[in-house]
Amino acid sequence: MLDADLERLGDQIDRLVTVEMRPAHGSVPAGLVVPLYQVCRAANGRPLSTAAAEALVNSVTDRPLLIVTGAGAPPALPAGETDGPPGAVTLALAAQRGLRARPQLITEEAHAPAVRECLKIATDGDIPLQIFPYGDPATAGLAAERILDRHTPGAVVFVERDGANAEGRYHGVRGNCRAPLDVARADLLAAAARRRGITTIGIGDGGNEVGFGGVREQVRTLFPRRADCTEGCPSGRITTVETDVCVSAGVSNWGAYGVTAALAAMIKDLDLIPAPAQEHALVEACLRGGARDGATDDHAISVDGIPSEGHSAIVTLLRTIAAFTSGQPVK
Amino acid sequence: MLDADLERLGDQIDRLVTVEMRPAHGSVPAGLVVPLYQVCRAANGRPLSTAAAEALVNSVTDRPLLIVTGAGAPPALPAGETDGPPGAVTLALAAQRGLRARPQLITEEAHAPAVRECLKIATDGDIPLQIFPYGDPATAGLAAERILDRHTPGAVVFVERDGANAEGRYHGVRGNCRAPLDVARADLLAAAARRRGITTIGIGDGGNEVGFGGVREQVRTLFPRRADCTEGCPSGRITTVETDVCVSAGVSNWGAYGVTAALAAMIKDLDLIPAPAQEHALVEACLRGGARDGATDDHAISVDGIPSEGHSAIVTLLRTIAAFTSGQPVK
């Protein structure tokens, strides 16, 4: 694919996955999806979906890949949310089938049932799931190093995964400060990977997730009251955790589907992009695992307040965009 | 609805309907959808979908409304194309039901069967269709004045309707110069309406349609070779015909659906936005009337090369956006 085609494809995908649709009083304050994207786009200098897909092609072809996901904490979201695992599993499958990567999912115990259910329906059971332990920063840092030692991944990707702020605390996008023991410090994998020169990609939608650390100051200025923490953390809710590429989308799953669509077009295998029924099944799997909608806290087949039809529509349009760009028939 | 909400709604809708997806060598050269939009957006200073919807609320509530549509000419598109009539009829119905406007469709003889079939399935037969005659500029100018005399409309809306260039010639978006007798000069309604202070709205996707005249020079610079006419018209293919609001979208139907969604959210009646099955039925109706896909010239249930699923996805997402903004349940 020519550079110009790749650039255009990325712009098309990025535009679609940053169309804002959010219930009032849901998650991110209204009107932030596009500005958050623009900050990340400016920092990257290139369309984010194709930048991430290209980074994956270059780093995990025939190699191990770690994908970290799972957001939400008690009391509202004790078993995580429907945003994250569907995108993470979709991307894992795409890398496995399209790049012969050897993906491994990582999450914490509370979110494991949802991720496990997604893996069950989407794979033949051949993508392993590893649990990142809860605990203090020192223990978690050691766990992160050990994981990297054992797997020597080509890349670590984070999909809707909390990143600590400057005080080492974790937050929901609404500024709610999470109890330290409620969140496993899997975000430490990002800094550890970067120290080793391993490619890192963060996919998020609110500024509190791993990846936004590189544009933290710009992101803070976008939020009302500069993205305060509801319990008074001086640095606020935006994470300091950086990645090489930060993909900002309207819904984190969409960001992951967008990267998948870019990869699918680049290697001309559109079947990597989930069909609407597959996407729907992944969200259902999250529910079976106890996850809830992260915007409404409901145990409903919806993501960030958006009903299933909306997500079906997004993957349908991604398939159309990818097909046109790669010259394949639209299916 | 507060001004800020209206602005945000318009930005969300505009972003969705300007996601580019086009078959290679289809219609508009690749990469132009967003720049065309940006030119029109900058000229308007406001989101285009809400600007157009607001203009309709202000001008046609309880009043007559003329909607002109029909594009495509022999030899490729002898009975018009699937882009235009579905959007025009959707908007007519929305204005009728939502604003108690008295809409009237206008097209030329060649495109009448497609428009008639759309009206048949979408209405109870109570929206009339009027035929704009073929002929020279003087005769057409008189016809335009007579139509305005008779109907005294509050607004005239053009959906994917050819506008003449500086030499008075009509073009496809690919620069193909249409034989003068193949196109009825219904675009003269725009200037005639403007002279009378009647609100005019143009909805298009290529720069050759009524509405883009106000940004003609900026649009020309976006095209390769400054939007030449394939037969050498000195002024090229971009129209000189202006409207008060010019809505530029990836597909003209989408532009009309977007204006409809904005109107639906403003008056809190989401049923004005077509459901996927209704949208599909409108495109089928065009085919029964002999219309073809304008990008592929195929007699297929597709619009601008995009299969039906893509259009279903767009109206689904418009319904979601409109529901969230207007605080209605998403259906």
The pLDDT of residue A328 = 74
ipTM above 0.90, yes or no: yes
Compute and round to an integer the Cα radius of gyration of chain A. 18
Residues of A in contact with B24 (CB under 8 A): 324, 327
Residues of A in contact with B20 (CB under 8 A): 8, 11-12, 15, 321
Question: Nearest-5° angle of CA B118, CA B122, CA B125?
Answer: 90
Q: Residue B224: how many CB atoms within 10 A of its CB? A: 9
**Do the Cβ atoms of B18 and A15 come within 8 Å?**
yes
How far apart are the C-alpha atoms of B264 and B258, rounded to whole Å?
10
The pLDDT of residue B25 = 63
How far apart are the C-alpha atoms of B202 and B192, rounded to whole Å?
14
The pLDDT of residue A54 = 98
How far apart are the C-alpha atoms of A259 and A263, rounded to whole Å?
6
**Do the Cβ atoms of B316 and A305 come within 8 Å?**
no
The yes-or-no verdict on residue B22 having pLDDT over 90 is no
Torsion angle of the four alpha carbons B279, B280, B281, B287, in this order, in degrees rounded to the nearest 10:
120
Taking only the tens place, the pLDDT of each residue in B126-165 is 999 999 999 999 999 999 999 999 999 999 999 999 999 9
The pLDDT of residue A30 = 87
The pLDDT of residue A331 = 61
3-class SS at A85? helix
| Domain boundaries B3-326, corresponding CATH code | 3.90.1640.20
Q: Establish if A123 touches chain B: CB-CB under 8 angstroms.
A: no
Q: Which tokens in the block code for residue A267?
A: 């290697």
Question: Nearest-5° angle of CA B29, CA A319, CA A45?
Answer: 65
User: pLDDT band for position B331 (50/70/90)?
Assistant: low
The pLDDT of residue B224 = 87
Return residues 29-88 of A near B (CB < 8 Å). Answer: 30-31, 34
Please indicate whether residue B3 or residue A83 has the higher confidence score (pLDDT).
A83
Out of A34, A306, A316, the one facing B310 most closely (by C-beta) is A316
Chain A contact probe: residue of B296, B330, B331 with most A CBs at under 10 A: B330
Residues of B in contact with A23 (CB under 8 A): 324
Looking at residues B63-75, what average pLDDT do you find? 96
Residue of chain A whose Cα is closest to the Cα of B29: A8
Query: Where along chain B do its domains lie?
Result: 3-326
Q: Residue B179: how many CB atoms within 10 A of its CB? A: 11
Summarize chain A as % helix, strand, coil (round to 5).
50, 15, 40
Looking at residues B97-104, what average pLDDT do you find? 98
Q: Establish if A324 touches chain B: CB-CB under 8 angstroms.
A: yes
Q: Establish if B312 touches chain A: CB-CB under 8 angstroms.
A: yes
3-class SS at B272? helix
Taking only the tens place, the pLDDT of each residue in B224-272 is 888 999 999 999 999 999 999 999 999 999 999 999 999 999 999 999 9
Which residues of chain A are under the pLDDT cut of 50?
none
The pLDDT of residue B26 = 62
The pLDDT of residue A192 = 98
Looking at residues B175-195, what average pLDDT do you find? 96
Taking only the tens place, the pLDDT of each residue in B294-326 is 999 999 999 999 999 999 999 999 999 999 988
Chain A contact probe: residue of B11, B21, B296 with most A CBs at under 10 A: B21
The pLDDT of residue A22 = 85
Taking only the tens place, the pLDDT of each residue in B201-232 is 999 999 999 999 999 999 999 998 889 999 99
Contacts of B138 (CB under 8 A, 6+ apart): none
Amino acid sitting at position B189: L
Q: Establish if A300 touches chain B: CB-CB under 8 angstroms.
A: no
